[in-house]
Structure 1
Amino acid sequence: MQVKPSITSSELGTLWLTYQEKTMILRLLEYFIAKADDEKAKGIMTNLHEELEIYVGKIVQIYEEEGAVIPVGYTAQDVNKDVPKLYDNGFDIMFVRLLKEISMGLHSLNLTMTFREDINILFEDLTALTQKYFRICSQYLLEKGLLVRTPYVSMPKSVEFVKDNSYLSGVALNPFSQKRALSTVEISHLHKAIESNLTGLQMISGFAQCADDGEVKKFLNEGAELAKGIIKELSEVMIQTNLPIPQSPGGNATRSTVAPFSDKLMMYCTSLFCSFSMGSSSLGTAFSLRNDLPAKMFIFMKDIFEYAHKGAKIMIKNGWMEEPPQMEDRKQKMN
């Protein structure tokens, strides 16, 4: 029988990160399933929970075969299914859709850092699973009128090439003229950033009103203000180009102040969204040729990074930040 090679540092790290994310998602799903008042939404989330549990089990099996300690992640202690409903009007599937969007990026990246065939296959399968549920959630939200499509534009009738550097500055040669119209690529990233921040704002607003720790509550409220600022800035760019602004038609927080999740889980979830937001902003910067847009994105990334760093300090202070597996300190052993 062919012996499997030991897992590498990057494989250990990607599996650890995936375990953290998936156990968090399982806890979120357990609460949303318990509170679902739409049978179709409940069915989507129940099926996703069942399939994700299988992959968490596969990660545990790999850890056990390698003699590695199983991470703590997020357990039954981090969720309370018996508290009142915290979100309403389709937020559960809106939230799951955004989580699947984050997972798609993570699995694709993880796949590039793995070498052993069984771990390659695991991330390939997780990618396919994530894509499937992202599509299912999108179709559900479209059917319910809870997902806003990007703006329609006139179809191009000829191929055009950029004629001068004013295209990059976003203004025509006449300094008194308006900035050039946004390209469809730029519209895509602006729309996505606003849409993601709207869902993030709803999520963090709900978290803030039920957090137990005063410092956590203050931190989450700061996050809500940060999301509002980003939405406002990007919406103004779209208004200047006479484009409709994405608005969330649902997913509001209820008046409940009883926490369904531990402060530890809510802080980790917020941290995950910060990482996703920074990644999305960097992509938006890379594909935007109008200089004013990357300038805004750089400011957002700086603000999000500083906010995430503050959150990390709170997690460390409360003993909520689980350490990833570390390499041996060989220098210390040699002394």
Structure 2
Amino acid sequence: MTSRDVPITSSELANLWMTFQEKTMIIRMLEHFIEHADNAEKQLLLTHYNNASKAIDIIKGIFQQEEAVIPIGFTESDVQKGVPKLFDYLFDIMYLHMMTKVEMSLYSLFCGMSYRKDINDFFINLTAEAQEINCQATQFLLEKGVLVRPAFVSMPKEVHFVENKNYRNSFNLFSETRSLNTIEVSLIHHAIETNLVGMQLMIGFAQVASNKDVQNYLVKGMKLSKKIEIDLGEFLRQSYIEPPATHAGKATTSKIPPFSDKLMMYNTSLLTSFGLGSNALGGAFSLRNDLPAKMALLAKDIFTFAQDGGKIMIKNGWMEEPPQIEDRNQLTK
């Protein structure tokens, strides 16, 4: 018996379905970016575009073999060709850098939830592809001088163990708050870096959204990204570290939408979910109790924002329903 003779599990079906949604969305985004890209950027964008297209074909093949309906995802109707570019200098690679971070996290998780060998191999390959593109995008942006490295620090010369209970305590009025450790700095830097790109994405999306509810929602997303950047940046400043910033990747003044409202809402939803996960990770690994407290407050805001977005998507018929488990309760009625 080959692996393809084994039916796919509920988790494998769910993960393939989610990957189909994400991949069909990102190729629509890349189509707009590729249309306006310089030669230096275009090759990297095309590589990820071709990888995504192959992944979509593989998923379609698995669904056809299993006699499952192929999802709709995002189609050519969700992107408008021949319109002015919505984002300026190097935003396309900054977006790619951010989205491959999301993909690396998703596909690594999906690997651990896959049991059929061909599907497990599929997600292992997707993880490797995302890692490779992320590495290339990182080096590209560093060479262009638009990606800020995290703070450099002196290398430790001795091993220490925490002895003072105040190591975790930042609310004690009678003791000085300790500086951030390197784990905390890395998590804060990552969150700020991601939200800087997310904020520009929300600005661009908001100025071309056709639906007024969507436009207002995306403006809220812009303000939320700014709040996260400011609040977390203050932790770095207290330790005399400047938060990351960049002069590149701004939204243009174009008001002509290259993307459908449905696509922009889904992209925002995906990044919001990623933001919730990143906040949870930041809170869990911080050993200074004021940082998890701030992360928890921000997580509440992000969760509320995600809930509001879901309502808008459902109201407009934009939320494709994931495969459903049979309702066994109906048998007892």
Gaps of 5+ in 2: none
1:314/1:273 CA distance change after superposition, 3 Å: same
Amino acid at match of 1:109: L
Structure 1 counterpart SS, 2:168: helix
What's the RMSD between the two structures over aligned residues?
Answer: 1.1
Q: Tell me the residue number matched to 1:9.
A: 10
Once residues 154 and 206 of structure 1 are traced to their aligned partners in structure 2, the CA distance between those partners, rounded to angstroms, is 40
Q: Distance in 1 between matches of 2:169 and 2:64?
A: 55
Query: What amino acid sits opposite 1:283 in the alignment?
Result: L
Shift of 1:4: 1.4
TM-score, normalised on structure 1?
Answer: 0.97
Q: Name the counterpart of 1:179.
A: 177
Q: How far apart are 1:256 and its partner, in Å?
A: 0.2
Q: Is 1:318 matched up with 2:316?
A: yes
5 Å-filtered alignment, 1:280-295, equals: 280-295=278-293
Distance 1:26 1:214 in 2: 26
Q: Give 1:75-224 correspondences, 5 Å limit.
A: 75-170=75-170, 175-224=173-222
Residue 251 (1) aligns with residue 252 (2)? no
Cα distance in 1 for partners of 2:237, 2:51 equals: 42
Question: 2:56 maps to which residue?
Answer: 56
Q: How many angstroms apart in 2 are the aligned matches of 1:50 and 1:289? A: 42
> What is the TM-score with the length of structure 2 in the denominator?
0.98
2: CA distance, partners of 1:249 / 1:147? 9
Overall identity of the aligned pairs, in %: 50
User: What's the offset of the Cα at 1:177?
Assistant: 4.5
Which residue of the partner structure matches residue 33 of structure 1? Answer: 34
Structure 1 runs not aligned, ≥5 long: none
Q: CA deviation at 1:170?
A: 3.4
Number of aligned residue pairs: give it. 332
CA distance in 2, matches of 1:32, 1:176: 54
Q: Is the 8 A contact 1:208 1:218 kept in 2?
A: yes
Structure 1 distance, partners of 2:170, 2:182, is 14
> How far has the Cα of 1:333 moved from its partner?
3.3
Cα distance, 1:178 vs. partner?
3.0
| Residue 299 (structure 1) aligns with | 297
Return the alpha-carbon distance in structure 2 between the equivalents of residues 241 and 177 of structure 1: 16
Cα deviations by residue, 1:272-303 (Å, 9 ceiling, x for unpaired): 01000000011101110000000000011111
Q: Which residue of 2 aligns with 1:269?
A: 267
Bigger CA drift: 68-77 or 324-333?
324-333
